[in-house]
Chain A
Amino acid sequence: MDWKDTDYAGWGRALRAKGAIARPDTRAALNRLEAAPAFGMRRSYGDAALNSDGRAVDMSGLDRLIAFDPDTGQLQVEAGARIGEIAAAFAPRGWLPAVMPGTGFATIGGCIAQDVHGKNHHHMGSFGQHVSQITLLQNGQEISVKPGTRLFKATVGGLGQTGVILRATIKMQRCAGDVMLVTERRAPDWETHLALLDASTASYTVGWIDATATGEALGRGIVEEGESASGLVRKPKGARKVPFDAPHFALAAPVVRAFNQAYFYRVPARGRSVVRPLQDFFFPLDKIHDWNRLYGKRGFHQFQCVVPLEAADSLRAMLAEIAGSGLASPLAVLKRMGPGRAGYLSFPMEGYTLAIDFPNRPAARALIKRLEARAAEAGGRLYFAKDSLAQGAQIAAMYPDLPKWQTEVAKADPAGALETDMTRRLKLRSAT
């Protein structure tokens, strides 16, 4: 059977869809299917991977590594290959994908379609900047797409609207080995936190932020800097699972405050350096399978925006509003981004990005709406990989290249066969 009626959701589980899903595991099986939007491991939080009452193709079974050239570091893979599997297979041989997002479960197709970034964005730019070729399936035809073309720019960060991504060649970079040397430092407040991020020269830099701290401690957190290294370290333990949906009070405000307090003071005041398995540094949450169930069956939203460097104060004001709301979860990240981006709809801009999870409740949704308005006012941008609540007009103003993307998409998929819940909600293909 090719199509199966399925109830499915984005990673945040707040947005859901019902529709027919196919899961081909060979090219022949994929060729049998009529055109439909494709998704990978559905790690986008909102509705980027959903197609309510329509069809969608699960590409996670087409996940083979195809070829690797050790002279150039070029690796060709099928779109469903997981970034974490590639890292695990190649790091012992001294290679890593140049850019890796915060979960190893993201597929190469997904990394391209969202033009993801990693903890090294300030040096290496976005994922799409290290893609040297993409093979698309467009109306039954295979099309090879190269950097520098308009179709490439519309495909990278293009939410799968230019065709189904079948294969891609990515440029790997050299690494010292499969462990990370990690330096952790406390940042007692917002100013210090930004200063540490600004001054960091490490290959990988990220800040965990305590989004419940207020007053003097507003913006406090831990700045982590990492360099790849080789040596012996305990193998990561097998992943644990969340066996059921947690009750709604599991992440209630006092619990989160207590957790964050402990998490902050876990790092000594003078800082510390530790050696970690590569997976623990890059994909810390992958150790707990289905961690999204911690938010209960109502699910959660992640808010992520980036604002220009000069708008740092606006971001501080947003954080103050979040901290005052008592709605934040322990999962909050602050990072300085460089300018690197590869597509018309790529998220990154030079500035600071803040990402925070909120349980899916009316108060949190209202807060996110206010944060979105603030991000827009600050000249910032929202991230399609995370968004589930924004509106079309807001988005159009944040993405000035949207019309160029629309022109390419109209050529690539004139019938609109690849539209998703997200492109419809945000009117991405029609907004002016």
Chain B
Amino acid sequence: MNSSWIILGATSGIARAVIRKLAAQGHGMFLAGRNQTELEAIAADCRLRGARMAEVMTFDARDHSNYGDLITRLRDEEGELNCAVFTGSMPEQEAIDADPNMIEGVLADSLTGPATFLQMLAPLMEERGCGAIAGVGSVAGDRGRLGNYVYGAAKAGFATYLSGLRNRLGRSGVHVMTIKPGPVDTPMTYGMELPLMTTPDAVADDILNGLARKTNVLYTRKIWRLVMGIIRVIPEPIFKKMSI
């Protein structure tokens, strides 16, 4: 059976590593994002690495006006549909403090944009009764912290959304996996000193393994499940005085 992956945010560092592996497995690829030149280059790369086909789609998390057209195109594609979401933006917290209107964009990139698209895609996947959705949240969404709580709030919202979507789609054989990466060495984090950093390639391997095992919530690196478990149980009166 034909199998296709829709990748939202296909130019992101983690997405690129995942896309390569999916292409090598022969899946069809729908690469969605804003930078058409980059997407075309990635699509050509996919075809040469073994993808059944690769097609570019314009997707802007902050502009939902063409989502209907995208869904129409996907309805025409036969076989199993899968979707992975890598959209998101992480401005410095200070930048947001200076311009609170940025919050809307952060929420759109990580939450409302992809959620709107997935909400439209869900019936299609339910109908077909197969496929998977993998969405990138963040360990930053597990608890609001001084350093990046707007980003954290957006990712927390998306994780909650995915949890609900899992609850719904699990009934019709569609698996939904929430990915919670710690810091990953991508262009977004280049030059930052961050703890327990990992590579996009390692995260991609974890994601594909997680999908094969139908993991519900995937922490990558795995140690983050433990770290965030501890951070989550710190009582609020103490936590509010900490800056971690």
Chain A residues close to B by CB (< 8 Å): 1-4, 23-26, 29, 61, 64-68, 75, 89
B187: Cβ under 8 A from any A Cβ: yes
Segment at the A interface, from B39-47, B58-66, B154-162: B39-47
CB within 8 Å of A: which of B3-48? Answer: 11, 13, 16, 24, 35, 38, 41-42, 44-45, 48
On chain B, the residues within 8 Å of A25 by CB distance are 13, 16, 187
Residue from the list B11, B35, B49 in contact with A65, Cβ < 8 A: B49
* Among B35, B45, B192: residue with most chain A CB under 10 A: B45
Instruction: Report A75 CB to chain B, min CB distance, Å.
Output: 8
Are the C-beta atoms of A65 and B48 separated by less than 8 Å?
yes
Of chain A, the residue at the smallest CB distance from B44 is A66
Residue of B whose beta carbon sits closest to that of A66: B44
Are A66 and B45 touching (Cβ within 8 A)?
yes
Residue of B whose beta carbon sits closest to that of A90: B48
Q: Knowing that A64-B41, A65-B45, A67-B48 are A-B contacts, what are 8 other residue pairs whose CB atoms are under 8 Å apart, sorted by A's residue number?
A: A1-B192, A23-B187, A23-B190, A26-B38, A65-B48, A66-B45, A75-B48, A89-B24
Complex CA gap A297/B10 in Å reads 39
Kindly state whether residue B210 has any CB partner on chain A within 8 Å: no
Inter-chain CA distance A425–B187, complex, in Å, is: 33
- B interface, how many residues as a size bin? 10 to 19
Per the bound structure, the CA–CA distance linking A75 and B47 in Å amounts to: 13
Count of A-B residue pairs with CB < 8 Å: 38
Q: Of all chain B residues, which has the CB nearest A86?
A: B48
- Whether B187 lies near A66 (C-beta < 8 A) is no
Residues of B within 8 A of A3 (CB): 191
Residues of A contacting B13 with CB < 8 Å? 25
**Which chain A positions have C-beta within 8 A of B41?**
64, 66
Shortest CB-to-CB span from B170 to chain A, Å, is: 31
Taken together as a complex, chains A and B put the C-alpha atoms of A75 and B187 apart, in Å, by: 27
Distance A202 CA – B190 CA, assembled complex (angstroms):
47
List of B residues within 8 angstroms of A4 by Cβ: 190-191
- B105: interface (CB < 8 Å): no
B115 to chain A, nearest CB (A): 27
Tell whether, in the assembled complex, residue B187 and residue A64 are in contact, meaning their CB atoms are under 8 Å apart: no
Asked whether B129 is an interface residue with its Cβ less than 8 Å from the other chain, the reply is no
